[in-house]
Structure 1
Amino acid sequence: MSTPPALQIREANAHLAAVHRRAAELEARLDAAERTVRAQAERLARHDQQLDELGRAKDREISALQEQLLTSEAMIHSLQAAVRQRDELIVQLQPRADLLRDICRSRPPLAALLAALTEAERLGPLPASDPDHLLPDGPGPPLVNDTEEEGDQKHLQPSVIGTTV
C-alpha cells in the first residue's frame, strides 16, 4: 500500500480540523441551546408555580368574598326584617301619637278651663236666699237659661259651680 501524498494528507488534516471546529462550534451552540432550554424550562416551571399560587390565592379570595357576601346578605335580610318590624310598630303607634298631639294642642285651653273652675270652686257657692233674688244685697232678675230646647221652662234651679276632682 502506498502512502497518500503529503498534499492529500494536509488537505485531509485541514478538512478534519474544519470538521472538528465545526463539531466544536455545533457542540457549543448545542450547549448554549440546552442551557437556554433549561433556563426556559426553569422559568416556565417557576411561572407555573406562580400561576398555581395565584390560582390558589384567587380561589381563597373568591371563597372569602363568597362567605362575606353570604354574611352581608344575611345581615341585609336581618336589617330588612328589623325595618319591617319597626314600620309595623310605627303604624301601630301612629294613632296614639296623633292622640297625644291632639291632647298637647288641647292642653292650654284645658288648663285655662281648670284654672277657672278652681277659681270658681274657691269662691264657693252663693249664700242661700230667695230664688227670685240670687244676688245678695238687692233684687235682681231671675237667672234663666233660655235656649230653644228649653224655651218652655219658666224657671231653672240655680246651679252651684264646682268641680269634683
Structure 2
Amino acid sequence: MKNWFILLISIFFFSCQQKENKKASAESAESPMPVVQKEKKQENKQIGDTIAMNFKNEENVFSAEGHLDSLNSKVYVQFKNEDLGELNAQILPDAGKGNIRFNQIIFPDKTSDGPFGMDLKIPLKQKGTHVLIIGHSLMADNPYYGNFKVQLNIRKE
C-alpha cells in the first residue's frame, strides 16, 4: 500500500509538470511577441527643478517644457555653449501671459547678469556651461504657476 501511494504521488507531480510545460509552450506558440524597437526620441525634460538642455530639435534650437509650482518656484536651465555667439531665448507660458521671466543668467566663470523679461538676447563671450534661472518677478503680484515652454537659439559669430 505504501508503494502504491508513492507511485500515485509521483504520477501526480509528473502530470502537473507536463501540463505547465504544455501551457507555456502553447502560449508561446499562439501569441508570439513581436519585437518592435521604437526609436527613442531625444528630448530635454525637467527633472526636479532643473532642465538640462542636451538635445537640439530639427531647427537646431534647444527646446523644453517646464513647470513652475509652489515647491519649485525657480527652474534652472543648463546648457553647454561650445562657440561664441549670441543667445536668443524665449519663455512661452501655456496661459499666453503670466508673471514669469528669466531672473538671471550665470556664466561659466560664475558671474551673473539679470533680471530680464520673457525674451532674452545676450552675447555669449565664454565657452562652457551656462545656467538660466526662470521664475516669477518678485516686483509683481500673482506669481506664475503652471507649464511653460523655453526655447534657446545660439547664433554663432
TM range (shorter): under 0.3
Q: With structure 2 as the length reference, what TM-score do the two structures score?
A: 0.26
Q: With structure 1 as the length reference, what TM-score do the two structures score?
A: 0.25
More helix by share: 1
Which one scores higher on RCO, CA 8 angstroms, separation ≥ 6? 2
Structure number, greater radius of gyration: 1
